[in-house]
Structure 1
Amino acid sequence: KEMRIALPNRQLGSRIMLTTQKVDIAFYSFGVESHVHRIQLLEKNEAWELFSKKAFSTYHNKRCPPELESSAWELLGKCKGLTLAIVALGGLMSSNESSMEWRKVCNSINWHLINDHFLEPVKTILFLSFNDLPYRLKHCFLYCSIFPEDYLIRAERLIRLWIAEGFIEHVKGVTLEEVSESYLMELNFCSMLQVVRCPTIRQACKMHDVMRELALSTLEKEKFCVVYDGREVMEEIRARSLSIQTSEGEIKVCKGMSQLRSFHVFVTGVFSPSILSTLLSQFKLLRILDLEDVPIEELPDGLMYLFNLRYLSLSRTSIKKLPESIGQLCNLQTLDISDTEIETLPKEIAKLVNLRHLIMYRYSGASWEFRYAKGIRAPSNICMLKKLQVLSFVESDSEGNFLKLVGNMTQLTHIGITNVKGSNEMNLCASIQKMKLLRYLYLLVTSEEEFLRIDALASLPGPLPHLQRLLLSGKLETVPSWFASLRSLTDISLRWSRLKEDLLPHIEALPCLRRLILVNAFVGNELCFNIGFARLTHLELLNFPFLKNITIEEGVMPKLQLLILHCCMKLKALPHGLEFLRNLETLRLGSVPIKIIENIREGGVDHPKVQHICEIDQIYKTSSATSSAR
Structure 2
Amino acid sequence: MAEIAVSFALDQLFPLLRDKARTLQSVHKEFKDVKDELESICAFLKDADTRSAAEDDDGIKTWHKQLREAAFHIEDLVDEYLIYQHQWPRHHSGIAALLCKPASLIKNLHRRHRLASDAKDIKLRVRGIKERSERYGFHCSSRERRGVNIYDTRMASLFMEESDVVGLEAARDELVGWLVEGTADRTVISVVGMGGLGKTTLAKKVYDDTNVIASFDCHGWITVSQSYTIEGLLRNMLDQFYKERREAPPTVDLSRMDQESLIGEVRSFLQQKRYLVLFDDVWNVNFWGEIEFAVFDNKKGSRVMITTRSMNVAEFCKRSSFVNVHNLQPLTQEKYWELFCKKAFRFDSDGRCPKELADISFEIVKKCKGLPLAVVAIGGLLSTKEKNAIQWRNLSENLSSEFEKNPHLSGITKILALSYDLPYNLKSCFLYFGLYPEDYLVNSERLIWQWIAEGFVKQEKGRTLEEVAEQYLTELIHRSLVQVSIQVDGRVESCRVHDLFRELIVRNMEDLSFARFVSKEDQSPPIAGITRCLAIANSPSDFIASLSSSIRSLHIFRVEELSENFVESIVKTCRLLRVLNFRDAPLGHVPENLGKLLHLRYLSLRNTNIRTLPKSIGKLQNLETLDLRQTRIREIPKEITKLKKLRHLIAYHLNFKVDFRMSLDWEKGVQMNGAVGSLTSLQTLCLVKANHGGVELLSELGKLKQLRSLALSHMKREYGTVLRASISGMCHLETLEISATDENEVIDFPIVSSVPQLQYLRLRGKLEKLPDSIQELRYLARLSLSYSKLGDDPLKLLQDMSNLMHLLMYDAAYEGKSLHFQERGFRKLKELTLKNLYGLNSILIDRGALPNLKRLKLEDIPQMKKAPFGIHHLVNLEDLYFVDMPNELDESIDPSGGQQNWIINHVPIVYIRHKVGPKFAVFDTRVIRHSRSS
Report the TM-score, using the length of structure 2 for normalisation.
0.62
The reply to whether residue 299 of structure 1 matches residue 590 of structure 2 is yes
Distance 2:538 2:906 in 1: 41
Decide whether the 8 Å contact of 2:377 with 2:408 is kept in 1.
no
Decide whether the 8 Å contact of 2:594 with 2:614 is kept in 1.
no
Change (3 A) 1:268 1:40: same
Match runs of 1:288-437 below 5 Å: 288-365=579-656, 368-371=661-664, 372-397=666-691, 399-437=694-732
Match of 1:580 in 2: 873
Q: Among residues 820, 827, 834, which one is paired with 1:541 in the alignment?
A: 834
Match of 1:19 in 2: 307
Decide whether the 8 Å contact of 1:562 with 1:587 is kept in 2.
yes
Distance 1:409 1:538 in 2: 32
The reply to whether residue 629 of structure 1 matches residue 926 of structure 2 is yes
* Segment drifting more, 176-185 vs 225-234: 225-234
The Cα offsets for residues 470-521 of structure 1, whole Å up to 9 and x where unpaired, read as 1111111121333222222222111211212222232333333322221131
1:142 aligned counterpart, secondary structure:
helix
Q: Among residues 437, 440, 443, which one is paired with 2:738 in the alignment?
A: 443
Change (3 A) 1:257 1:29: same
Distance 1:112 1:515 in 2: 46
Match of 2:384 in 1: 96
Letter in 2 for 1:416: A
Decide whether the 8 Å contact of 2:830 with 2:854 is kept in 1.
yes
- The offset of 1:600, in angstroms, is 2.8
Match of 1:618 in 2: 912
Change (3 A) 1:375 1:65: closer
RMSD of aligned alpha carbons: 3.1
Distance 1:433 1:623 in 2: 46
The reply to whether residue 150 of structure 1 matches residue 439 of structure 2 is yes
Change (3 A) 1:561 1:266: farther
Decide whether the 8 Å contact of 2:736 with 2:762 is kept in 1.
yes
- The offset of 1:626, in angstroms, is 6.8
Decide whether the 8 Å contact of 1:377 with 1:395 is kept in 2.
yes
Q: Among residues 460, 474, 486, which one is paired with 1:185 in the alignment?
A: 474
Task: In structure 2, list runs of 5 or more residues that go unmatched.
Answer: 1-161, 163-168, 182-214, 217-273, 276-302, 928-934
Change (3 A) 1:266 1:408: same
Change (3 A) 1:368 1:87: farther
Decide whether the 8 Å contact of 1:226 with 1:237 is kept in 2.
no
Distance 2:546 2:440 in 1: 29
* Segment drifting more, 169-178 vs 404-413: 404-413
Distance 2:349 2:623 in 1: 64
Report the TM-score, using the length of structure 1 for normalisation.
0.90
Change (3 A) 1:107 1:343: closer
The reply to whether residue 261 of structure 1 matches residue 558 of structure 2 is no
Letter in 2 for 1:170: Q
- The offset of 1:401, in angstroms, is 1.7
Change (3 A) 1:209 1:558: farther
Change (3 A) 1:193 1:68: farther
Decide whether the 8 Å contact of 2:594 with 2:616 is kept in 1.
no
The Cα offsets for residues 127-152 of structure 1, whole Å up to 9 and x where unpaired, read as 11222x33321111111221112222
- The offset of 1:612, in angstroms, is 4.3
- The offset of 1:452, in angstroms, is 0.4
The reply to whether residue 527 of structure 1 matches residue 819 of structure 2 is yes
- The structure in which a higher percent of residues are helix is 2
- The offset of 1:525, in angstroms, is 1.1
- The offset of 1:610, in angstroms, is 3.5
2:711 aligned counterpart, secondary structure:
strand
Match runs of 1:71-82 below 5 Å: 72-82=361-371
Q: Among residues 162, 173, 176, which one is paired with 1:7 in the alignment?
A: 176
Change (3 A) 1:425 1:302: closer
Q: Among residues 572, 597, 605, which one is paired with 2:899 in the alignment?
A: 605
- The offset of 1:66, in angstroms, is 4.5
Match of 2:242 in 1: none
Match runs of 1:463-478 below 5 Å: 463-478=754-769
Distance 2:465 2:781 in 1: 21
Match of 1:109 in 2: 399
Task: In structure 1, list runs of 5 or more residues that go unmatched.
Answer: none
Match of 1:229 in 2: 519
Decide whether the 8 Å contact of 1:113 with 1:217 is kept in 2.
no
The Cα offsets for residues 324-369 of structure 1, whole Å up to 9 and x where unpaired, read as 2211111111111122111111111111111111111222456644
Change (3 A) 1:582 1:225: farther
1:419 aligned counterpart, secondary structure:
strand
- The offset of 1:258, in angstroms, is 2.6
Match of 2:498 in 1: 208
- The offset of 1:59, in angstroms, is 5.1
- The offset of 1:535, in angstroms, is 3.1
- The offset of 1:313, in angstroms, is 0.8
The Cα offsets for residues 91-120 of structure 1, whole Å up to 9 and x where unpaired, read as x54973753686764453147754555431
Aligned length: 621
Q: Among residues 194, 200, 205, which one is paired with 2:483 in the alignment?
A: 194
Distance 1:85 1:446 in 2: 56
Q: Among residues 134, 143, 148, which one is paired with 2:423 in the alignment?
A: 134
Match of 2:256 in 1: none
- The offset of 1:194, in angstroms, is 1.8
Match of 1:241 in 2: 533
* Segment drifting more, 17-26 vs 430-439: 17-26
Decide whether the 8 Å contact of 2:368 with 2:374 is kept in 1.
yes
Decide whether the 8 Å contact of 2:547 with 2:573 is kept in 1.
no
Distance 2:497 2:418 in 1: 17
- The offset of 1:422, in angstroms, is 0.8
Letter in 2 for 1:562: R
Distance 1:216 1:627 in 2: 39
Change (3 A) 1:298 1:326: same
Change (3 A) 1:331 1:32: closer
The Cα offsets for residues 577-599 of structure 1, whole Å up to 9 and x where unpaired, read as 33333443333322210222223
Letter in 2 for 1:7: V
Change (3 A) 1:387 1:275: same
Letter in 1 for 2:411: P
- The offset of 1:283, in angstroms, is 1.2
Distance 2:828 2:431 in 1: 33
The Cα offsets for residues 185-206 of structure 1, whole Å up to 9 and x where unpaired, read as 222222222222389x981112
